[in-house]
Amino acid sequence: MTQHDAIAILDFGSQTTQLIARRVREAQVYCELFAWDAPPEHVLALRPKGFILSGGPAGVYEPGAPTLPGYVLDSGLPVLGICYGMQLLAHGLGGQVAATPRREYGLAQVEPLSDAPLFAPLREQTQVWMSHGDRVERVPPGFDILLRSANSPVAALGDPRRAYYGVQFHPEVAHTPAGREILRRFAVDVCGCAPTWTPAAFVEEAVGAIRTQVGDGRVVCGLSGGVDSAVAATLVHRAIGDRLTSIFVNTGMLRQGEPQQVVHTFQTHMGMSLVALDATEAFLSALEGVSEPEQKRKIIGTQFVRLFEQEAARLGAVEFLAQGTLYPDVIESAAPDRPTARRIKTHHNVGGLPEDMELKLVEPLRYLFKDEVRAVGEALGLPEEIVWRQPFPGPGLAVRILGEITWERLETLRAADAILLAELRDAGLLHQETQQAFAVLLPVRTVGVMGDNRTYDAVIALRVVTTEDFMTADWARLDHDLLARISSRIVNEVAGVNRVVYDVTSKPPATIEWE
């Protein structure tokens, strides 16, 4: 879809490969992510001006380990290898890679051994993030050692004549402060990419792509009220006008006051053609007795699609369904276009869609990260309360109730969640300071004492995280008095709850949602 200079990133299985793409795009350079063994014609169709080889868990000498595709070096384009990518580049060009006597995980200090412009941000000793068990023992012919650390004599290498570079550390993670500038310099200075990838440019291209895909057809859009579906609907509306009908489904699993808020915002404030459906009974009936999270997601995905198909049939000749699917959804669902990825969980709007779905998908945000979507929303002129709204999963409270879903349990969770959000809002922490906050109803009961009487009631877990991209996240260090106030209100105001706990797990190893 791009008309921009671009970088092709080959994914060798690193957990942070997606962050490489995000950092390159932050430098306003377009890039796409490909499996390392993707067909060459797919990668080269991007007309890249350079390649980045990601890290990965394998060793270059292991049987069946990913290899360096021949077209990368045959292209004559610049190459930057990261961790496994550097080892692969060195191994393929005649260097030597071996297991290090001491593995290197976490923070390390590197020092420059040359004045290579690419590594100018690394002055004297600089902090980087390492994660490797192998290292380059001998550099290939034509290469120089550019950086070293205490445990990696070759922390970076380069052959400026061919514009081949490698780093043993991970420049994409926040723990390497100079990493963003290194990636920017590689994309812009070494590869010669013009930094033209901006939200405004994306809007123009996305609108054109939607018009090309849809033609004279009509589209229905699943609108949840969140920023993802709102931006997707606005892009489609800008592309095809009144040939879009947005459909808002009240599943019965929304947050307190949400159905009324969504209808008011998009019907009244934004003037969109909106059909509001109350399908509470249908969803609860389909989910009756179901506790397994993957099954929940697939049931909900099927119910959504069937409703959209019914509404599309009522509206007339509608061929397309627009959704606010994001890049992390695709990655975590291990979609078919990323065959080497492992499935973490099925997202109802990716892997949870029924195979016999009649509508064709329009997903203009499919390869954007959340922060990019917010920037596009601002470029489209969407209200701040939509752009910075707390994310809410498509299945709603269904994946925040662990175990069976009943109306009583939904009402319990709704009330607890509303208290959490209200207290965070009053403390000025609800939007840009914390990126996602919600309550979870656990499938356990615990003993408590209320009014000198024994209770045996439900447990609410609170989850509040900070994150830049939703691929990694950390738990928010909320003030203890604030946590105490939230806990006290929930226990006193929500019937059937006698205990509140706070989730202090980062992502990874946990996901942000509990299911």
**Residue 396 contacts residue 440 (beta carbons within 8 Å):** no
Question: What is the Cα–Cα distance from 46 to 450, expressed in whole angstroms?
Answer: 64
Q: Which residues pair with 31 in a beta bridge?
A: 7
Angle of helix 227-240 relative to helix 199-214, nearest 10 degrees, comes to 60
**Residue 297 contacts residue 348 (beta carbons within 8 Å):** yes
Q: For this structure, is 292 an active site residue?
A: no
Annotated catalytic residue: which of 31, 32, 132, 172?
172
Q: For this structure, is 319 an active site residue?
A: no
Q: Which residues pair with 130 in a beta bridge?
A: 106
Q: For this structure, is 170 an active site residue?
A: yes
**Residue 233 contacts residue 336 (beta carbons within 8 Å):** no
Annotated catalytic residue: which of 132, 170, 347, 348?
170
Nearest-CA neighbor of 457 among 420, 489, 500, 414? 500
How far, in Å, are 183, 243, 248, 441, 444 from residue 304 at the CA level? 41, 20, 10, 24, 30
Q: Tokens 């070759």 appear where?
A: 154
How far, in Å, are 22, 207, 276, 391 from residue 242 at the CA level? 34, 14, 17, 27
**Residue 53 contacts residue 60 (beta carbons within 8 Å):** no
Say how many C-beta atoms besides its own lie within 10 A of residue 163's C-beta: 18
Q: Which long-range contacts (C-beta less than 8 Å, at least 24 apart) are formed by 23-26?
A: 23/171, 23/172, 23/179, 23/180, 23/183, 23/184, 24/52, 24/183, 24/184, 24/187, 25/197, 25/369, 25/372, 26/180, 26/184
Q: How far is residue 387 CA from its own chain's centroid?
A: 16
**Residue 366 contacts residue 407 (beta carbons within 8 Å):** no
* Residues contacting residue 223 through CB under 8 Å, at least 6 positions apart: 229, 230, 233, 246, 247, 248, 262, 266, 272, 274
Question: What string of DSSP letters covers 64-129?
Answer: T-----HHHHHTT--EEEETHHHHHHHHHTT-EEEEEEEEEEEEEEEEESS--GGGTTS-SSEEEE
Annotated catalytic residue: which of 31, 32, 83, 332?
83
**Residue 294 contacts residue 345 (beta carbons within 8 Å):** yes
Residue 102 burial class via C-beta count within 10 angstroms: exposed 0-12, middle 13-18, buried 19 and up? exposed
**Residue 16 contacts residue 55 (beta carbons within 8 Å):** yes
What is the end-to-end Cα distance of the chain in Å, rounded?
34
Question: What is the Cα–Cα distance from 56 to 9, expressed in whole angstroms?
Answer: 13
**Residue 112 contacts residue 147 (beta carbons within 8 Å):** yes
List, by residue number, the catalytic residues. 83, 170, 172
